[in-house]
Amino acid sequence: MVTRDFSGFEIAKVLANSGNFDWVRTTGDHAILKWSAPPDHDTDDRTVSVPLHDRVPTGTLRSIGDDAGMNDFDEFCQWLDHNR
């Protein structure tokens, strides 16, 4: 089974280092990350808000994945686990 136990800092760090997101700012206890679509892409830019908590609940993790453009939740969790 794939682990779903990540801290918010781990998620934000992986997205910023491996997912081509820019860590734009920290507002309160949330990291705001942005991804700009390349000119030849037919998708919109993405903004992801990650709560910097010790443990992120599964529903919130799924929402972060949706905002980041994931296609498969288990694959997203495996990618996070592999890159942390």
Domain that holds residue 32: 8-83
The whole-model pTM stands at 0.89
* pLDDT greater than 90 at residue 84: no
**Is 70 exceeded by the pLDDT of residue 1?**
no
Following CA atoms 54, 75, 78, 7 in sequence, which dihedral angle do they give, to the nearest 10 degrees? -10
pLDDT value at residue 42: 77
**Any idea what the CATH number is for the domain that residue 40 is in?**
3.30.920.30
> Phi and psi (nearest 5°) for 62?
-65, -40
What's the domain count of the chain? 1
Domain membership of residue 1 (yes or no) is no
pLDDT in tens, 46-79: 999 999 999 999 999 999 999 999 999 999 999 9
Strands lying side by side in the sheet with 30-35: 22-27, 30-35, 46-51
Mean pLDDT of 29-48: 88
2 assigned to some structural domain: no
Mean pLDDT score across all residues of the chain: 92
